[in-house]
Each structure stands twice: as structure tokens, then as C-alpha cells.
Amino acid sequence: MTSPQVLVPGPFSDLVYNQEDLKNVALTFMHTIKKSFYEDRNRDGRVPSVTEAEIKRRYQICEAHFRDARGGVGWSLQRALDTLPIALRAKLDGKDFTYSAHQGWAVPDSERESTIDSEGRDYSKEEVKEAAEAQAEDEERLAKERESSRS
């Protein structure tokens, strides 16, 4: 499933093609930055200084990763957003986020909006659920057929 390519005005118009995706990017940035402050507090027990300058710095790190992942490396929108917390944490810890080290891409199903199969086709959660139900029905039907053929 691909989004129609309709340009969205704003800072990511070259990387995001519809308003829903732009909203998702903004929410992911906000959640990632907020979570990073909680992680900092939990690491050393002190509450980090949440200043406007520090929020802006973390936003700039997120933006740089997003631009590199989408525009430079060519990752999908979802993959770029899924790796955002890892990239931000690496930078905050004084390390580099290496794209080649993140060729494998595993995100818990509960956090994924879609699933990509081995041929690169993208399926929504609903489509995956329907396919799993159909597979379960097929397995049940085959089991019944085997049972009846034994009788």
C-alpha cells in the first residue's frame, strides 16, 4: 500500500506526501523526545533539565535522522520513524547511528501500522489479521478433511 504522492507544504514536503503522514511524523518526534527525557531521568536518577534549547537540540537530531533515513538512505516513512528513538539515544549518548548496522528491521507487531512481506508488499494490521484468520480456517478445514478420510 503506498500513499498517493500529494505534496504537503512545510519542512518535510520533500519527504512526506500527505497530511496524515505529516501528522504521524510530528507525533513520533514529540513522543520520541518526551520519552528520551524520561529515559535520561531513569538512567541516573536525576531529572534532566527540560529547557527550550534542549528540546530544540533533540528535535534537530530527530530531524537530521529523518532527513538522512528518508532522503539519503531511502528508507520507508515507517522505518525512518521506527528507528528514530534509537538514533536519538545514540546521539545523546555521544555515539553515531550507523545505517548499515540497522539493516535488520524488527519492530514489535503491536507498534507496527503495517507488515511488509518478503516481496516488499505492505499490508495493514487488518489485512494481516484477516490473512491469519483465513489461514487458521484453512488449517481447521484440512484437519477435518484428514480426519474424515481416515474414517
Q: What ranges do the domains of the chain cover? A: 1-107, 119-151
Give the H or E element holding residue 137: helix 125-150
Q: Among 58-72, 109-123, 135-149, which is the least confidently predicted range?
A: 109-123
How many residues belong to the chain? 151
Model confidence at 3: pLDDT above 90: no
Give the burial string for 105-127 (b: 16+ CB within 10 Å, else e).
eeeeeeeeeeeeeeeeeeeeeee
Q: Is the pLDDT of residue 33 over 90?
A: yes
Query: pTM score, two decimals?
Result: 0.60
pLDDT given at position 91: 93
pLDDT reading at 135 higher than 80: no
Q: For 40-60, what is each residue's pLDDT tens digit?
A: 877 767 777 789 999 999 999
